[in-house]
Amino acid sequence: MSKATKIALLDYGMGNLHSASKALSAVGAEVSITNDPKVVAAADKIFFPGVGAMRACIAGMQENGIDEVIRHAVFNKPVMAICVGMQALFEESAENDGTPCLNVLDGKVKAFDPTWTDENHQLIKVPHMGWNTITGMDLAHPLWRGIKDQSHFYFVHSYYCEPADSSQVAAVCDYGQPFCASTLQDNLFATQFHPEKSHSAGLQLLKNFVEWDV
C-alpha cells in the first residue's frame, strides 16, 4: 500500500480551511493545517488557500511567516494555490487602492470592469459568483487528467489575475471578457476557482494534485 501524500494546508487566518482539508482528505491526502515551518518542511506538498481582502491576507501571511514559506517552497516542492492564494502570488493587486503581493509570479491582479457584458449583452455582476466553465487546458497534463474542456467550477471573486507571461495561463474563463482561471509554472499550480466547492470536477483536480509527480 502506497504511503499517503502529506500536504501542509497553510493557516494564516484567511482561508476556508475545513472544506479544503475535508476535500483533500477525501482524495487520499494526509493533511496538516499549519503555519509551523517545520511541519511545512516535512510535507510533500503545500496547499495555499485564501479568502477575503488582499491587504488583510498579505498582513496575515507576513504575521505568520507564510510569505517566506511560499517563496521558499516554490523552489522545493509542489504548491497549489486557490482564489486569493493565487492572486497573492503576483506582483500587485488593485484591491484596496493597490496592495503589494508576494511577487512570486510576474503580473498584476485587476478588478473586473462592471461595464463588461455577458453573452446575453447584460452587464456582469461583481463579484463573479457561482458556476462557470473553464477552457484552454492542456488535457494531456497530469493535473487535468479526467477533466473535460468546459468543465464547471465554482468562482467567488471581484478581481482576476493577468500573468505577464501568457504561457503561464493554464485555463481560461469567460465573464464578459476572458480571464486567467488557472496558472501553472513548473511545480507551482494555482486556480482562481474553488476546487473544494466544485463537486466531482473539483475533487478530480485535487486528486490530480495529490498524485502529481513533478
Q: Which residues are catalytic?
A: 83, 194, 196
Mention every residue, 6+ apart, whose C-beta is less than 8 A from residue 146.
204, 208
> What percent of the residues of the chain are helix, what percent strand, and what percent coil, each to the nearest 5?
30, 30, 40
Cα separation values, 15 from 48, 54, 80, 162, 173, Å? 9, 12, 14, 22, 23
Cell numbers for 148, please give them.
473535460
Half-sphere exposure of 114 (CA within 13 A, CB side): 4
Alpha helices (runs of H) in the chain, residue ranges in sequence order: 17-26, 37-42, 54-64, 66-73, 84-88, 199-211
Q: Quick check: 106 and 115 in contact, CB under 8 A? A: no
Q: Quick check: 181 and 192 in contact, CB under 8 A? A: yes
Give residue 71's region: left, alpha or beta (phi > 0; psi -120 to 50).
Answer: alpha
Q: Quick check: 52 and 19 in contact, CB under 8 A? A: no
